[in-house]
Amino acid sequence: MILTDTHTHLYSEAFDDDREQVIQNAINIGVKRFFIPAIDSSYTEAMFDLRDAFPENMFLMMGLHPTHVKENYRDELKHVEDKLASDTFYGIGEIGIDLYWDTSFLKQQQEAFRFQIRLAQQYKLPIVIHCREAFDEIFEILEEEKRDDLHGIFHCFTGSLAQARQAISYNLKLGIGGVATFKNGKIDTFLSQLDLKHIVLETDAPYLAPVPYRGKRNESAYLVNILAKLADIYNIDAAEIAAQTTANSKEVFGV
């Protein structure tokens, strides 16, 4: 059984003391494929180091995270452009809009999101979307920028069934992680109404650890807890979910 963690920040400082062991623990239980989203230029070197250490397992993305869209966002977008032109990446992410922490850079976040969607189309890469308290703003831009080749993942999906269907209509898979295991997560109440072909698994490690680790540091190995929850929600064997979601990840990322 091969599992794919489509969203994990294994280069994070949270893993500085035991990164190699954390990764090996995940590999040992079947998590063989790790897709690594970018945050900003300050993490690029750490991402490359991660790929160098585990070249068979790590697949990097490039992008500017919406919470890191600040006064220097155009410099950061130039960094994204430069890296895309000079190295291999498998997605543009994570990108999007976040209005939870700060609304003062909304216009800049919108500009950065549009710009990076167009980069994804230029390089024929999927987008990986971060959305927090910004579904309307995200969908408005997706509607403006949609093309036949637009595709990707709506990371950490926490919306309603209607919003899930709207995301899927833009050729996006739903990234399902620890929130599906939360008592107040809500998405577990309707996921079974969505075909499994629209779902990929993710941890967002070190964030959003699933039950029974909620509130602690998340790890890619905990993907098995999310897998078990989906097996319960869909009432099918975990191995079938692992196979389908890994196939879905290959459809998105082309590898």
Q: Do residues 252 and 152 touch, judged by C-beta distance below 8 A?
A: yes
Looking up tokens 């489509």, which residue turns up? 6
- State residue 102's pLDDT score: 87
Q: Do residues 147 and 164 touch, judged by C-beta distance below 8 A?
A: no
* Mean pLDDT by groups of 10 residues along the chain of 255 residues: 97 98 98 98 98 98 97 98 98 97 94 98 97 97 94 97 97 97 92 98 98 97 98 97 98 98
- Burial (0-12, 13-18, 19+ Cβ within 10 Å), 26: buried
3-state helix, strand, coil in the chain (%, to 5): 50, 15, 35
Q: Do residues 172 and 153 touch, judged by C-beta distance below 8 A?
A: yes
Amino acid found at 143: E
Q: CA angle at residue 114 from 249 to 75, to 5 degrees?
A: 100
**Both structure tokens of 106:** 């909304």
- In terms of Cα–Cα distance, which of 89, 159, 161 is closest to 125? 89
Q: Do residues 133 and 98 touch, judged by C-beta distance below 8 A?
A: yes
- State residue 140's pLDDT score: 98
For 91-149, what is each residue's pLDDT tens digit?
999 999 999 988 999 999 999 999 999 999 999 999 999 999 999 999 999 999 999 99
Q: Do residues 201 and 240 touch, judged by C-beta distance below 8 A?
A: no
- State residue 114's pLDDT score: 98
Question: Distance between CA 60 and CA 238 in Å, rounded?
Answer: 27
Question: 3-class SS at 243?
Answer: helix
- State residue 185's pLDDT score: 85
**Both structure tokens of 5:** 């963690």
Looking up tokens 């050729």, which residue turns up? 171
- In terms of Cα–Cα distance, which of 107, 127, 108 is closest to 116? 127
Decide yes or no: CATH 3.20.20.140 for domain 3-253.
Answer: yes
- State residue 162's pLDDT score: 97
- In terms of Cα–Cα distance, which of 49, 40, 61 is closest to 153? 61
- State residue 101's pLDDT score: 86
Q: What are the residue ranges spanned by the domains of the chain?
A: 3-253
